[in-house]
Amino acid sequence: MIPADRELTEAGLAPQGRGRILLIACGALAREILDLKAANGWAHLDLTCLPAKLHLYPEKITEAVTEAVAKHRADYDGIFVVYADCGTGGLLEQRCRDLDVEMVAGPHCYSFFEGNETFAAREEFTAFYLTDFLVRQFDAFVWKPMGLDRHPELRDMYFGNYDKLVYQAQTDDPALDAKAKDCAERLGLAYERRFTGYGDLATALSAL
């Protein structure tokens, strides 16, 4: 687990005094959360992140969050879990209820970045999604874990039922756009870019 960064305190971003809330977040969301904190002056929100690679093992997320809540509960006036269901099959939501902590609504980050209602209305079953984080970390989180670096012939077996790659862009970054296009070409998929910004993540954090 990555502890709350002392540099944030020195930069005036860490919470001071009463009313402190800890965000227990997926490491894949760290940059976006820090950007939102800085842009909105949310000095009462502190951040600790669990490893982003837990998404490769969703059965481990619920217990990791439980341990983090137990570790930090006494030090904060409130805790908010910055995960959606993320493949836990409802177990994380139930555990958060049992622990009396709130969490981000939605099935996964692709949904809450676009907005849960908008995403659900699309009923888009043949799209493969990337966020800013996953574009940056495409090789580490997609290409290599799926063995495509060693066995590229597996690509069509994995992605034969997809027809496009959708890049949900949190930022306007031409370099990331170019890299996302390259990811689509490597997967043999059509490319679509959607600027989502921070979607329901911003809404959820602003409510705190």
Give pLDDT, residue 12.
Answer: 38
Stretch 116-132: mean pLDDT: 95
Q: What is the pLDDT of residues 38-89, one digit of tens each?
A: 999 999 999 999 999 999 999 999 999 999 999 999 999 999 999 999 999 9
**Four-point Cα dihedral 103, 104, 110, 111, nearest 10:** 120
- Whether residues 100 and 11 share a domain: the answer is yes
Structure tokens at 117: 């209602």
Task: Give the mean pLDDT of the chain.
Answer: 92
Q: Does residue 132 share a domain with residue 86?
A: no
pLDDT at 159: 97
- For residues 12 and 95, membership in a common domain is answered with yes
Domain around 36:
6-104
112, 105 in Cβ contact below 8 A? yes
Are residues 23 and 3 in contact, defined by beta-carbon separation less than 8 angstroms? no
Q: Could you report the per-residue pLDDT of 173-199, keeping only the tens digit for each?
A: 999 999 999 999 999 999 999 999 999
| Residues 36/205, Cβ–Cβ less than 8 Å | yes
> What pLDDT does residue 14 have?
42
* Average pLDDT value for residue range 153-167: 97
Pair 140, 97 in one domain: no
205 domain residue, yes or no: no
Q: Which of 104, 130, 155 is the last residue of a domain?
A: 104
